[in-house]
Amino acid sequence: MRFSIYRFNPDVDKKPYMQDYDIELEDSDQMLLDALMRLKVVDDTLSMRKSCREGVCGSDAMNINGKNGLACITKLEDLQEPVVLRPMPGLPVIRDLVVDMTQFFDNYHSVMPYLQNHEPPPETERLQSPEDRAKLDGLYECILCGACTTSCPSFWWNPDKFVGPAGLIQAYRFIADSRDQEQEARLENLEDPYRLYRCHNIMNCTDVCPKKLNPNAAIAAIKNLKIEKAKEHTQHKPSKKIFGIKVL
């Protein structure tokens, strides 16, 4: 099978280049990661991340034939040759297919991705109704591979300002959690013109998510919730009058 892989070693190379490989695969090689492991036997200078090899850790996220995905759950039979592999776009390349995810995790941490409850912890766990628990489905499964965020043009142009789909789906995971007591602060934290509202709903994130999640729906839910909360906030204020007429 033919591969064309992005190579860049900052210690040796002045600029990146694409290197072609032809690899003999065996019947047991089903996924792209299997092929890459076989390739590393031929050329052990190729750098990449991998760990669980079953779509749980998210380490081997990369750009596969122009679309972000996980090498370990991408079937070789679905790929057109030559298989073009590049690092995830929008993040600095450390070496070959390995990117520096510092900005990605800075954005993730900025949404305070942990439960905030100021009540003393109960003897057992904090309970939820089945309905409240169901609200977290499709959110908590995010593995933080970065495929969605690095396929988002809004993140490419504003990586330090726009939280990105992965950060926002995690933000909504805690906003929607009935046990969390900082919903208002979490919504306020996303109020500037960039952090949340730079999403223009092009849905690249939903298209590439290897866990089949829908960050775009989570972002829309946050926007709707912000309107609801703002309406509640303004309802407590007396209505304005212009020339004696009550306005909206």
Partner 1 sequence: MLFELLTARYPGMRLWLTQRLCALSMAIVLLLFWVRVLWLAPQDYAAWVAVFSPLWWRLLTLWFFICMLMHAWLGVRDVLRDYVPHLGSRFVLQWLVNIAVCGNALAVLWILFGMDF
What residues make contact with partner 1 under the rule CB under 8 A? 153-154, 157-158, 190-198, 200, 223, 226-227, 230-231, 234-235, 237, 239-240, 247-248
- Nearer of residues 58 and 167 to partner 1, judged by Cβ: 167
Nearest approach, Cβ of residue 178 and partner 1 (Å): 24
- Residue 29 CA to residue 47 CA, distance in Å, equals 20
Nearest approach, Cβ of residue 196 and partner 1 (Å): 6
Nearest approach, Cβ of residue 2 and partner 1 (Å): 35
Q: For the residues of 206-235, what is the DSSP string, one character each?
A: HHH-TT---HHHHHHHHHHHHHHHHHHHHH
- Residue 151 CA to residue 172 CA, distance in Å, equals 20
- Nearer of residues 35 and 187 to partner 1, judged by Cβ: 187
Nearest approach, Cβ of residue 156 and partner 1 (Å): 9
Nearest approach, Cβ of residue 197 and partner 1 (Å): 4
- Nearer of residues 176 and 187 to partner 1, judged by Cβ: 187
Nearest approach, Cβ of residue 42 and partner 1 (Å): 41
- Nearer of residues 138 and 167 to partner 1, judged by Cβ: 167
* Nearest C-alpha neighbor of 156 from the set 89, 205, 100: 89
CB count in 10 Å sphere of residue 205: 29
Residue 54 token pair: 């079953």
- Nearer of residues 144 and 190 to partner 1, judged by Cβ: 190
- Nearer of residues 12 and 248 to partner 1, judged by Cβ: 248
